[in-house]
Structures are given as structure tokens and as C-alpha cells.
Structure 1
């Protein structure tokens, strides 16, 4: 693709001046980007897949996959794998952080290795993407063409040229490692970069501290976890938390988990707490306080949900009475256990809440062929009974959390004994 403006023209001209990857850089990448394998066969023979040397490793535990071993010939540290596989192919990405002109440049290389037992390992390295970042945050992407594929979007056409390309997610590469020697523009050093990415994608980190003064402040204040969270999160705006962040920085409080801390601040705001107070913003045990307020919020939301359910359920009170009103007043006892019909939606709610089952949330009060009764002793609910109005049989009788109580059989026997009361109301 041809450059469309002076900025892209300038980038592509500078790109042509970038040096090729050096042999030491390649050797470092080949060494650190792949696991080096010693293939061990069932007889105990180990083959180094780097140089092809073979020797008898015996059955010593030193040759297992945990401790590994060293090739006697090429001195490569190997991870031993007992397998019958003979060909091993692997591909990774490797990055170099450098500068060119006034730009910060991150170069990405596709490296692959072909290993076969008894042969020298064959490595290949090709530059596929360059990300160019100006001091003002303006960006350009230089990359090779990609082949069309349904499953993969990084099938590079290695015969194509490195040219200006429209940004694509294939260009957002997260390499397995970066070459340790870096060159950065002065603006990054000025804005707090000290050579450590702090487990943040370098391009995203550089872009943030060059374009957002708040990100620069977080980096200089050592709030790395919070900076990482805001850089990686697409749903949270740092501005919404900035006053609380300043309180934390002012009080020397280091946030260890950015996601949990932001969740915690959101919950404090939900309950109207003072998020400008160090008492709340700087908890000694962040996770404990987070879990405490989240549980409190969950209880609050559950209560609101139940209240909303009750409100909607009460709208069905007339329909419930139309279905069941003729059974109101039915009650019987054996002297200890009393059984009575539930006569309102509110009673269904209290029954379900106390017994911790679904007689309310399952809307049993709207079932036309079911009659729900509550069995109690001295006013304390014991079990909830459902009777089929078609067969007059006990469908179920449930205690707390749907468990049967010691009175279960006695309750069913009592209900069966008095089912004529229900039959009379049906016939009336």
C-alpha cells in the first residue's frame, strides 16, 4: 500500500534505513524463544534435537522432563521428553525495541524451527511487522501482506515487502520475549520509562505514557498494577477514579491489584461512601474489604430483586384469589402439627424466604391445579405441602432447603386424613 500522507511517507523512508537483524540477535532469539528438546526413546537413548547428537541416558531420573540434561556435544540445556515423535515444528514471535529518527519503533520477527531426530535444527527468522510511534502518540504500521485464511489471520506472505498497512488485529503481536538491549526516544525516559515493561505490552505502555499524563503519573508513582489495568481495560476510564488514585499516591499506598481496587471503589460509590477518604481508599487488606463490600452489594441487590418480584407478584393477587379463594380457611391439626392453606402472595413470599425453597420464586401461587399448605409447630414453619387438585394426592412436602424433616411422614398422613375438606370445597 502506498503512503497516503507526509507522515506515512516519512515513516516508510525511515523504515528503509533500519538495519537488518544481527546474528547475535538471532542466536539470542533462537535460544530464548523455544524450549530445547532432548528426545528420549523407550530404550533410554537421548537425541539432542539441536545438533543431532545421540547418547545413552539410561534410566536415571536426571534425564526426566523436570531436571533435564545437557547435551555432551553442543552443551545446550535440554528438556527431556520421552516420545516416539521424530519431527518437531514450532513458531513464535520475537521483538526488538529500538529507535529510528524521532520515532520509537517496535520490530516483530516471526521465527520458526524445524527439528528432526538425528539432524541439525533448522531455524528461520523474518521481520513481519513494525510499529512506529511518534513522540506525540501518532502511529503507523509497516508490515508484510497476509494470506487469506478462515482460521488464521497471521499467515504472512514472506515474499511480500514491508509496506504501510491499515491497522489489523494481526499487527497487535504479543511476542514471547523481547531482546534485552533496548533503545528508546528521550520522551519516554522523560515520562518515567526505566527499561521495565511491568508486564504491559510495550507499544500500549509507550502510547499511554506519551499521550496520557495520568498514565505517566501512575508510572512515576510506582502504581504499576493500576497502570496495567487501565492500559489493558477497554471498559474503564482512568478519569473516573483519579481523585481516589491521588489520595492513594498522597498516602504512599501502593495498589497491588488494579482490577480488584477499581471494583472496590465502584462498590464504595454504590453505597455512597467517601472515596476521597484514605480510610476507604487505602485499605490494609484490599481483598478482604473488596469481598466484604461485594457480599454487601450482592445482598442489597438480592433484596431489591426480591422486592421487585414481590411487587410484580402482588399484581397477580387477584388472579391468585380467583383460583384458590374457595379453599381459604382450610386448617387442621393433630394436636402438635397444624396445617393451613397459604392465602396471599405475601404468605408465599414469607414461606419461600423462611424455608429457602422456590414456592414463591417458582410462582406456585399461579398454578391452577395446585393447593399449597404450610405445616407448622407452635407457629414455626416445618414443611410446605403441595396437593394436586385433580387427584387430591400429595405431590410433595418440603422442609428447609427442600429437605425432609422428622415430621415428614406424619405431615403427609395428616394431610391425607383431612383431604375430604378439600374435596368438599371443590364440590361447593
Structure 2
């Protein structure tokens, strides 16, 4: 869009004075931002894509130094001839009263046996004032899940930090960096610690906690603070101050904050350096995880016990009239399961789903345990609607050698089940 405000006109005026990338900067970009590759054929002929030299190599080595340009090449065994690379780099400097972050797109077209074609294309500039106000001067960004391109001319663009449309994370930042004095005062030196230039400058300008973390050399916590873990950093800020005061550097902020959450869960003093400044964080964190797992199992067992007690009362109310029913014939005895605990034991014994599928809750299902000489052999289900055996299963849902005898015994005593069923209907 056209420049409308005094700030816009000032940015356009200063942008026209910015120099193009120097030869030194272009050489640095080619050497440091692009991957240096060598294509190797089946005959061990290697083509250096960075200079075009072709030479004889060995089959097994994953890397090789090009004898012409001396670059260390990553070797790829392929029949391909062409390769294209695209990277974004940033130049950080000062122009007038502004902090200027310039972004360039590097495009390199390479072909085996030929010198590469390399171009540097400016795509966006971020102009930031000392009070944190940003003006974007750049090309239109066409940003989707599938592609990211910059088109059109350099002009003022709408800036909305919530969408991040023009907040770009460069692959590399040119090492010769110039910043406004206020950013030096707030702790910035040279590294962006995986943050975009805008995220770094804006956070240390507007957020005193981010400034503190940067000055205290806590980059991993700074990343958490600027990212989507701001609330966790705030929640444990007192512990962070203890760590800083004791010279403790947090190298893995995600694990460390998880560890503090566990310590808090078990009532530990989060202002005590003994807990906050762990010498072996990985080991201490594993111990706390095991403690949490033991606690979770204990609580789960308590909840399960209460649940079973409730289910037992419901089971007695619905099927208690059948509990005295015992059927016998020779060595075979078939009796009704009288508790939810017996369903669990039956399921563990035979490895079937009589407990997992809550057969004790099914209104038309009556479950028996069949035993031969006192040894459990099968679990029997009778349909109270049809009044017949619908399944009798042993280990892994297989029939035992006594299956037919058990089914016949139960079916021949259906009248006893019917008698108790009528009694249950009368009391309902």
C-alpha cells in the first residue's frame, strides 16, 4: 500500500538509501546458508554441485573434500543431475533512528558438471522504533501450508504480529550485527536463540522478565517465555529467580518446568535450591515420574475399589436372588458368580472379557462359574430373556473338554432359573 503517515514516508525515504548486499555478504551466504552436495554415480564419479568440478571418488564414504574448491561435500548416490536450494537469511542493522531487520531469499540452481547459478533477492524489511512500533516494507507474502513465496514490489505492508505473516525465522543471520543502544542495554549481544529477530527485540523491549532471562543467560527459558509457555514461566518465576541467584543454568527448560510441576504436586519447597537447582535433572526427574506413577496407581486402585463397591451393591440388587443357585452333576458344579471381584478373577483366569465388558451390569445376562472337582474350567452365560445358555467359554474363549456336559447341566435346570426370575419380577 502507499505510504500515508509520516512514519511510512520516513521508512520509504530511508529504505531507498539501504545498500545492496556486498560481495562479502553474498560469499558468506553461499558458503554458510547452502548445503554443499556431491552427486555420486555407480562408477564412483562425484560431481561437486558447489563449483561444478567432476572427480573420481570412493563408493563407501558419506563425505568428501572437493579437490577443486576444498569444500566438504555431503555425498548422495543418485542418478539425478539437477538440484535447487532456497534459504532465507537476515541482515540486522541500524538506519537512522530505526532498528532494521532485512530478509533475503537465496536461490541456487545447480547442475552436475556446471558452475551453480546463485541469486540474492530481498523480500522484507522490518523497521522497529525504540518504543517497539514496527513498520514492514517488503513484498507481498503468499503464505500457505504448501508454499511460501514473495511477489510484487517493495512497499508498505500491513503488520499484524498475531498472524506472524511478516515475522520470519531466517535460516542464518549475517554475523556482523548492529543494533540500537536500547537493545544492548536490555541484554542483547549476538545470538537470537532460535527466536525471530522481531521476537527477540520486542520481548526484551516490552517484557522485563524476558530481559531478565536474557541477561541471566537462560536462553531455553527465554524461548519458553516468548513462545506458548509464558504461563508456566510466570507460575514458576520465584523458582527461576532462585536458580538465577545460585548461578544455575537451565539447559532443558521443558523438562525443568515439568520437574517443578511434579515437585509442586508433592508439596516440595520450590524456593529451596536443593530442589530447584538439580545437579542431575534427568535422574531426579525420572525419580519423580516413578513416584507420580506409584501415586497414580494408588489413587486409581482407590477409585477402582470405590467403583467396585458401588457396582457390587447394584449387582446384588439386580441378581442377588440367584446367588443361592448351585447346579451339580457328578464332578461338575455350576454356580452363579456372587460378586464383581469374582468376575475379575474369572477374567484373569480365563483371559476373556467377562469383566472388561461388564457382564455383571447386563440385565438379561446371568453368569455362572463351572468347575470340575473344584477346578474352574469354564464361564457360562445364560440369557434371562430366552432362558438358555448362549455361551460357555474356557481359556482364551475356547471350549473345554467338559463343555457339552456343562451346557446340558445348565439347560436341564432352566426351571430353577425361571423360578427365581419370577420371584425377582414380583419384588420389582
* Aligned with residue 130 of structure 1, among 125, 128, 134: 125
Aligned to 1:155: 149
Aligned to 1:47: 47
3-state SS of the aligned residue for 1:292? helix
* Aligned with residue 63 of structure 2, among 64, 67, 77: 67
3-state SS of the aligned residue for 2:153? coil
CA contact (8 A) 2:167 2:196 kept: no
CA distance in 2 between counterparts of 1:201 and 1:416 reads 74
CA contact (8 A) 1:128 1:144 kept: yes
Aligned to 1:38: 38
CA distance in 2 between counterparts of 1:54 and 1:2 reads 51
Aligned to 1:387: 381
Aligned to 2:260: 265
Aligned to 2:320: 325
Q: How does 1:284-295 map to 2 (within 5 A)?
A: 284-295=279-290
CA contact (8 A) 2:168 2:196 kept: no
CA distance in 2 between counterparts of 1:301 and 1:118 reads 64
1:110 Cα offset (Å): 0.8
1:355 Cα offset (Å): 10
* Aligned with residue 419 of structure 1, among 385, 410, 424: 410
Q: How does 1:11-410 map to 2 (within 5 A)?
A: 11-55=11-55, 57=56, 60-61=58-59, 64=60, 66-72=62-68, 74-147=69-142, 151-152=146-147, 154-157=148-151, 159-167=152-160, 168-234=163-229, 236-298=231-293, 300-301=295-296, 320-321=315-316, 323-330=318-325, 341-344=336-339, 360=355, 362-372=357-367, 385=379, 387-389=381-383, 391-392=388-389, 394-397=391-394
3-state SS of the aligned residue for 1:160? strand
CA contact (8 A) 1:317 1:344 kept: yes
CA distance in 2 between counterparts of 1:41 and 1:250 reads 58
Q: TM-score, normalised on structure 1?
A: 0.79
> Number of paired residues?
413
CA contact (8 A) 1:327 1:425 kept: no
CA contact (8 A) 2:48 2:112 kept: yes
3-state SS of the aligned residue for 1:196? coil
CA distance in 1 between counterparts of 2:291 and 2:376 reads 29
3-state SS of the aligned residue for 2:119? strand
CA distance in 2 between counterparts of 1:382 and 1:252 reads 66
CA contact (8 A) 1:375 1:411 kept: no
CA contact (8 A) 2:192 2:200 kept: yes
3-state SS of the aligned residue for 1:392? strand
3-state SS of the aligned residue for 1:163? strand
Q: Unaligned regions of 5+ residues in structure 2, if any?
A: 420-428
1:49 Cα offset (Å): 2.5
CA distance in 1 between counterparts of 2:376 and 2:197 reads 63
**Bigger Rg, which one:** 2
1:341 Cα offset (Å): 3.7
CA contact (8 A) 2:382 2:389 kept: yes
CA distance in 2 between counterparts of 1:290 and 1:331 reads 55
CA contact (8 A) 1:93 1:108 kept: yes
Q: TM-score, normalised on structure 2?
A: 0.79
Q: Unaligned regions of 5+ residues in structure 1, if any?
A: none
1:28 Cα offset (Å): 1.0
CA distance in 2 between counterparts of 1:179 and 1:249 reads 31
CA distance in 2 between counterparts of 1:77 and 1:69 reads 4
CA contact (8 A) 2:350 2:397 kept: no
When residues 107 and 188 of structure 1 are mapped into structure 2, their CA distance, relative to the original with a 3 A threshold, is: same
3-state SS of the aligned residue for 2:241? helix
Map Cα deviations across residues 358-409 of structure 1 (whole Å, 9 max, x no partner): 6555333222344345799xxxx989945343653654456xxx899xxx96
CA distance in 2 between counterparts of 1:105 and 1:353 reads 70
1:321 Cα offset (Å): 4.7
1:231 Cα offset (Å): 2.2
